[in-house]
Chain A
Amino acid sequence: MTEDRRVFDYLLRLADSDLVLAQRLGEWVGHGPVLEEDIALTNVGLDLLGQARLWFAYAGEVEARFAEAGRSEDALAFLRDSGEFRNLLLVEQPNGNYADTMARQFYFDVWHQLLLVKLAHSRDPRIAEIAVKAEKEVVYHAERSADWIIRLGDGTDESHARIQAAIDDLWMYTGEMFDPDEIDTPLAEEGIGCDLRALEPAWREAVGSVLDEATLTLPGGTWMQRGGKKGVHTEHLGHMLATMQWLPRTYRGAEW
C-alpha cells in the first residue's frame, strides 16, 4: 500500500468516527430528557460534524494524489456503504437510554482527546492543524461527559445501575481504540499518526479515576470486539446509514 493510500484510509477512520457519532447524537434531537441536554448533545454532534468535514476535505485531496479524482466531503459521507466505513464500533452503537449514550460518549471523548493531543504533533502539517483545532472542542466534550458519568453513578440507585450496565456493555468496544494495525503502525513510525498502544495507560487512568469518583467499577473483561477500522461493523451501522444516506442517494445531486 502506498503512503498516500495509507494516509487516506487513516483520515477516513478519523472522519468516520466523528461523522457516525455526530449522526447518533443527532438522533436525540427532540428526544433529550430535558431541553438543555437536547441542545448540548446536538452541539457536541455539531462539533464532531465540523471536525468530520475537515478530515473528509483533506481525505479527498489525498485521494486525488493516487486516484483519478478525489471525492467530495458529501460523496465520502453519503455514497459509501457500511463496508467502506472505517469508524470505531463503539460510536455506531445505538443511543439506548441516556446512560448508554453518555457511557459511549465518555469512552470516546477521553480517547479522542488523547489521540488529538498526539496528532497535534503530526509531521503532516494539515493533520496537526486540524487536530489542534478539534482538541480544543473535544476537551470540553470530555469534561461534560465525565460530569454525567459522576452524576449518574453517584446519583440514585436506578441511575447507578443503569450507568454501570452501560459502562459494562460498551466495554468490549473499547479495545480497538488501542489496537494498531498495518495502517496505524507505519504511520506512527513516520510521525504522521501516533502509537495507539501508548494511549491506553492514560485512558485507563482517566476513565478509572472518573469511574472511581462516580462509585462505579471499571470493567475487567479482556475479550474485545474488533473490526470497525477494517469495515467489519455491527449490524447497527447499516441501519443508521440507511437513515442518514437515503435522501442524497434517492435524489442524486439534491442540494439544501
Chain B
Amino acid sequence: MFEPLSTAQRARSDSLDAVRRVLATIPDPEIPVISIVDLGIVRGVEWEGDAPLITVTPTYSGCPATDVIMADIGRALTEAGFAKHRVEIRLAPAWTTDWITAGARARLAGFGIAPPGAGAVATARVIDTSALHRRVVRAPVRCPRCGSAHTRELSRFGSTPCKAQHRCEDCLEPFDYFKPH
C-alpha cells in the first residue's frame, strides 16, 4: 500500500537532496574538475536525529587530501544552512576507482589525466604472484591528449598517491594516469 509522504517527511527528504547537491559542488582538492561525489567517496547521506549524517570513505589511507575534504564539507554545508551536521569516516567497503562516475572519467581525460579503466579492479583479490613479474602485460593506457595507445609508464607514482606518470610515445607528452584501485 503506497502511503503518500507527509509534508514533514517530504521536507526532510528534500533537505537531504539539498545536502547531496551541496556535496556535488565540492571539488576534489587535487583534481578540481571532479567533485567528491564524482570520485565516489561520499557513501551515504541520511538523517541522524535532526542533523544530516554524511559518510565518507578515504581513497588511499595516507592521502593528505582527506583532511582538506573534511574541512571543505564542513564549510560548504555550513554556508548552505546545514551548520548542524556530522561527517563520519567509514573504511569498509574500501574505496575503488570503479566508483568514479562515467561523466567524471570523461572530465579527467579532458583535464589531461588518463582515467582508470572501468571494472579494472577485481573485488575479491587472491594472491597472484604473477603480477610481480615483468612479463605480465597490462592493457595499454591511452594518451589523454592524442588518444594513442603507444604509451609508456615512467613511474608507478605521480603527483598524488592515486596517480602514476606515463608518457605518450607518439605526441611525446607526459601525463598522469589515475591508477585502477
Contact = CB atoms under 8 A, between A and B. Distances in A.
Assign chain B's interface to a size class.
20 to 34
A202 B134 CA distance: 19
A48 B157 contact: no
B80 interface: no
Contacts of B155: 36-37, 39-40
A48 B125 contact: no
Nearest to A44: B157
A121 to B, nearest CB: 11
B61 A205 contact: no
Interface string B14-42: 00000000000000000000000000000
Interface in B47-72: 58, 60-64
A87 B94 CA distance: 26
Secondary structure call for the B interface: loop
B134 A129 contact: no
Contacts of B181: 136, 140
A36 B165 contact: yes
A205 B133 CA distance: 13
A134 interface: yes
A146 B156 CA distance: 12
B60 to A, nearest CB: 6
B179 A150 contact: no
Given A37-B155, A39-B157, A136-B94, A146 B132 contact: yes
Contact of B156 (A53, A54, A135, A144): A144
Contacts of B125: 117, 135-136, 139
B161 interface: yes
Contact of B61 (A42, A51, A146, A213): A51
A50 B131 CA distance: 24
B133 A210 contact: yes
B117 interface: no
B44 interface: no
Interface in B133-181: 133-134, 154-159, 161, 165, 179, 181
A36 B161 contact: no
Contact of B133 (A40, A47, A129, A209): A209
Contact of A202 (B58, B127, B154): B127
B91 interface: yes
A50 B160 CA distance: 14
Interface of A: 36-37, 39-40, 42-44, 46-51, 53-54, 110, 113-114, 117, 125, 128-130, 132-137, 139-140, 142-144, 146-147, 150, 202, 205-206, 209-210, 213
22 contacts: A36-B154, A37-B155, A39-B158, A39-B159, A42-B157, A43-B157, A47-B60, A50-B62, A110-B132, A114-B127, A129-B91, A129-B94, A133-B61, A136-B96, A140-B181, A143-B156, A146-B133, A150-B133, A205-B129, A206-B129, A209-B129, A213-B134
CB-based closest 7 A-B pairs: A50-B62, A50-B61, A36-B155, A146-B132, A129-B92, A46-B62, A43-B157
